[in-house]
A and B are shown apart, each in its own frame.
Chain A
C-alpha cells in the first residue's frame, strides 16, 4: 500500500547506498591487443592483458580526473507548441587528467605524442615530431570501491586517442605537472551494438 508520503505503487528500482571516492587506476594499451575478456560469456569486451608486443602502460600519479560525454543535441522544435522531441548523437567520450609522474619517457611518449623512445643506459631519448594520427589505445579505468569485499567498477574505453594540446607547468616550489591531457574515446564499430564507445563493468557479490 502506498505511503502517505507519496511513494509510487508498482515496480520500483531503488539505488544502493554506495558512494565512490577518488580516481580510478588508469591503464592503457595499444588497441591491436586483445581484451582480457574478448569477449566474456555475456559478449562484453573489457579489461586488458599485457603482452610482450603490447604491454599495458600504468599511470602512477595524477589528479583532476574526469570522464565526460560529448553529445550533439538538437531539439525538434515546433514553433506552435514547443520542443516536441530531441535528436541526440554521441560524438565521443572525453577522459581528462593532469599527470605528475612523467617517467619513464616510454610511458609518457604516447600521451604527449612523442616518437618511440630509445633507452640506452643511462640515457632515455625521445623526440617530438609530427603526430601519428593512426595510433589508438584501449583505456581501462578500474576503481575498487570496497577493499575488503573487492567490489569494483571498471570502465573500458575501446578506441581511445590522446588529443588536444598539453602543457607542462614548471612552477617554482611545486612539482612539474603535465596538464591538458585529454583522451577521446572514439567509436569502435567493431564492437557489438551498444558497446561502441565503452563498456562499464561492476563486480559486487553482496549487492548483485
Chain B
C-alpha cells in the first residue's frame, strides 16, 4: 500500500466514525458511499482500493437502485388522492404527501405503522359500500 492509498483509507474511516449513530447519509455522499455506509460492513474489514481502481469497477459506479433503497431510509409513495398528513408515528416524525403519487423518504421504524393503514388485507377489514370489498390502499413501498 503506497502513501496515496493510506490517505484515502484514513479519510474514509474518519468520515464513517463521525457519522456513526445517525441514519442519515450526508447529502454530498455519492451512491458508492451510501452503499458502503448502509451495508453494515465495518470500516476495518472493508477492502480498500485505490481511488482509480475503485472508479474503474462498473458495479460500484452504477449500483442497482434496490441497493440504494436498502439503506437506512425507505421510500414510500402515497396512493391517496389528497394531501395526506401522518402524525404520531413510532419515530415521532410527521410526514406529508402533497398528493397522490408523492414520495416521501421515511424512517424504517415507521414503515409498519404506515403500511398498517392500508385496509382490506383480510375480509374482516372491509368497510366497503354497496358490494365493494373495502380494500383501500394508502401507501406502497417503492
What does DSSP make chain B's interface, helix, strand, loop or mixed?
Answer: loop
* A101, CB-defined interface residue at 8 Å: yes
Contact of B82 among A53, A119, A121 (CB under 8 A): A119
Could you tell me how many residues of chain B have their Cβ less than 8 Å away from some Cβ of chain A?
19
Known A-B contacts A53-B100, A61-B129; the reply to A121 vs B80 at CB < 8 A is no
Could you tell me how many residues of chain A have their Cβ less than 8 Å away from some Cβ of chain B?
20
What does DSSP make chain A's interface, helix, strand, loop or mixed?
Answer: loop
* A116, CB-defined interface residue at 8 Å: yes
A207 vs B94: C-alpha distance when bound (angstroms): 57
Q: Is the CB of A121 within 8 A of B88?
A: yes
* B81, CB-defined interface residue at 8 Å: yes
Q: Is the CB of B130 within 8 A of A53?
A: no
CB within 8 Å of A: which B65-88 residues: 77, 79-88
Known A-B contacts A53-B100, A120-B87; the reply to A60 vs B132 at CB < 8 A is yes
Closest to A101 in B: B129
A52 surroundings in chain B (CB, below 8 A):
77, 79, 100-101
A57 vs B132: C-alpha distance when bound (angstroms): 12
B82 surroundings in chain A (CB, below 8 A):
105-106, 109, 116-119, 124
Q: Is the CB of B100 within 8 A of A117?
A: no
Encoded as 1 (CB less than 8 Å from any A CB) or 0, chain B from 103 to 142 comes to: 0000000000000010000000000111010000000000
Closest to A124 in B: B82
Known A-B contacts A52-B101, A60-B130; the reply to A119 vs B77 at CB < 8 A is no
A98 vs B87: C-alpha distance when bound (angstroms): 36
Q: In angstroms, how far is the closest chain A Cβ from the Cβ of B4?
A: 48
Q: In angstroms, how far is the closest chain A Cβ from the Cβ of B126?
A: 13
* B99, CB-defined interface residue at 8 Å: yes
A54 surroundings in chain B (CB, below 8 A):
100
A57 vs B87: C-alpha distance when bound (angstroms): 26
A51 surroundings in chain B (CB, below 8 A):
101
Closest to A110 in B: B81
CB within 8 Å of B: which A29-57 residues: 51-55, 57
Q: Is the CB of A58 within 8 A of B132?
A: yes
Known A-B contacts A60-B129, A61-B130; the reply to A55 vs B81 at CB < 8 A is yes
A124 vs B81: C-alpha distance when bound (angstroms): 12
CB within 8 Å of B: which A115-171 residues: 116-121, 124
Q: In angstroms, how far is the closest chain A Cβ from the Cβ of B120?
A: 14
Residue numbers of B with Cβ under 8 A of A are 77, 79-88, 99-101, 117, 128-130, 132
A-B contact pairs, 5 of them (CB 8 A): A51-B101, A52-B77, A105-B82, A106-B81, A121-B88
